[in-house]
Amino acid sequence: MRIKDVREDRTKRSTVEIQQAIRFNLFHMLQASARAEDTGVPAKGLTGKAYEGHYFWDTEIYLLPFLTYTSPRIARNLLIFRYNMLPQARARAKQLGHRGAMFPWRTINGEEASAYYAAGTAQYHINADIMYALRKYVQATGDESFLRDCGAEMLVETARLWLDLGFYSETKGGKFCINGVTGPDEYSAVVNNNAYTNLMARENLRYAAQTVKSLQSAEPGAYNALAHKTALEPSEVERWIRAAENMYVPHDEDRQIVLQDESFLDREPWEFKNTPPEHYPLLLFYHPLNVYRKRVIKQADVVLAMFLLGDMFSPEAKKRNFYFYDPLTTGDSSLSSCVEAIIAAQVGDFEKAIRYGMAALLMDLADVGGNVKDGCHIASMGGTWMTLTYGFGGMQDHGGTLSFWPRRAPEENAILRFPVTYRGQRLEVEIGLDKVEYALCEGESLLIRHETEELHLTRKNPVAVRPVSRR
């Protein structure tokens, strides 16, 4: 991944620094994950002791995209690591009184290691996060055998958990509701119908149903083995589909936005103007009860859903939601800046995209959070890669086709170049000042999309150049 000046006299130093920072980030991600074979990737990688080396959703949501598109073998290792903790996840679900499997919010050996449920084990979304990463990995690699041999079993057990956790609520017109969970935003704890959780759970349920159904028709032997192993009843799949189709997603009619959770607007506004800068992060200065009852956000939540499930939101909806939630978001978590940067870039707000992107990029080098002594922020490092590819690069990977709607480099007068591995082939994307070049460097044939146009790159015609519309 490279960023390079075009007019050398003006911004060279800055661009060199950015290139260095990118490499610093890439290095630590590779170092943390290269030999993650029977382990996960700790929140601090191999750089510090904070979080006691524990694994969180950081791996699947923030790091795996980078690995999936650059080192899929390692992405697979990390998913196998999750698969191997399925027995503990089943035991944990049982302990919580649920069917299926509940992956740990934080763990070292597969067992839940959170000391605190409110901003910990109540984050049921971890299940859907892992299944989301599984789907992206399978889509990007075509590794159907992994899906059959490991993924399907995880999908069955996580879908079961969602079905058991939620219920059809009379007070919500019979919609499928999920109460008493914490979403990504840890400044709102144990809420009803967190939109992120419900949307991601819907994906989880759908992907589980789809996977089981294709297995049933395409590989009856594998299906029978799966059904035997998980004691799957045929009616279960239909119940997953019904729950997914009836999933409740809280929404505000007046503002035309998705609500972070159904009570989000019922909270008292946080008094940002009376909060001195030295009182951030709020979690160190205010009692959690005080924070939980206020309308204030630690980290991207609806905004994260708009990134991960980008094809479900129109550009206008993204704008409305982003400009509603962004001013309420403290960014007190290092997991926030990169996501804000991506959506800012997607809605064309490059001032914000650059500011947030720089915060993510320099999280450790500039000690943005003031805690780099405890170790590097691997999630933010992965988020930096995502900011450049998904954000400025305009990459999208919804629905099984890699597509691009490139914006610009994060520096004026710079070009941005990055490789993407897709189904065993290697694509190089170079976004210049006014054109973008797609080059198939390894592989026979790759169909991608540039803006609204399909591009078919082949060994004979490996390169396509298009103007950047800078929407």
- Told to check if 267 binds its own copies by CB under 8 A, we report yes
Using CB under 8 A, pick the residue from 292, 350, 404, 405 that binds its own copies: 292
Provide the 10 A C-beta neighbour count for residue 424: 14
CB of 95 to its own copies, least distance (A): 7
Helix (DSSP H) and strand (DSSP E) numbers for the chain: 16, 15
CB of 288 to its own copies, least distance (A): 7
- Told to check if 286 binds its own copies by CB under 8 A, we report yes
- Please tell me whether residue 456 adopts helix, strand or coil conformation: strand
Using CB under 8 A, pick the residue from 290, 458, 461, 469 that binds its own copies: 290
DSSP string, 214-231: HHHHH-HHHHHHHHHHHT
Cα 155 from Cα 23, distance rounded (Å): 35
Of 308, 387, 383, the residue nearest 345 (C-alpha)? 387
Nearer to its own copies, 257 or 416 (CB): 257
**Residue 138 amino acid letter:** V
Which of the residues 112, 186, 236, 340 is marked catalytic?
186
451: annotated active-site residue: no
- Told to check if 327 binds its own copies by CB under 8 A, we report no
Contact indicator for 439, 462 with CB cutoff of 8 Å: yes
List the x/- string, 105-144, binding to its own copies by CB under 8 A: ------------xx--xx----------------------
Cα 310 from Cα 308, distance rounded (Å): 6
Residues in the chain: 471
Phi, psi for residue 249 in degrees, rounded to 5: -125, 110
Nearer to its own copies, 115 or 231 (CB): 115
CB of 290 to its own copies, least distance (A): 5
Nearer to its own copies, 267 or 423 (CB): 267
Using CB under 8 A, pick the residue from 13, 228, 273, 287 that binds its own copies: 287
Contact indicator for 125, 57 with CB cutoff of 8 Å: yes
Contact indicator for 1, 417 with CB cutoff of 8 Å: yes
CB under 8 A: which stretch of 36-44, 94-102, 352-360, 404-412 binds its own copies?
Answer: 94-102
Nearer to its own copies, 210 or 263 (CB): 263
| Joined tokens for residue 24 | 């610093």
Using CB under 8 A, pick the residue from 177, 296, 297, 457 that binds its own copies: 177
Cα 116 from Cα 108, distance rounded (Å): 16
Per CB under 8 A, residues contacting its own copies are 95-98, 117-118, 121-122, 167, 169-172, 177, 179-180, 189-190, 192, 262-263, 265-268, 286-290, 292-293
Report, as residue numbers or ranges, the catalytic residues.
Answer: 186
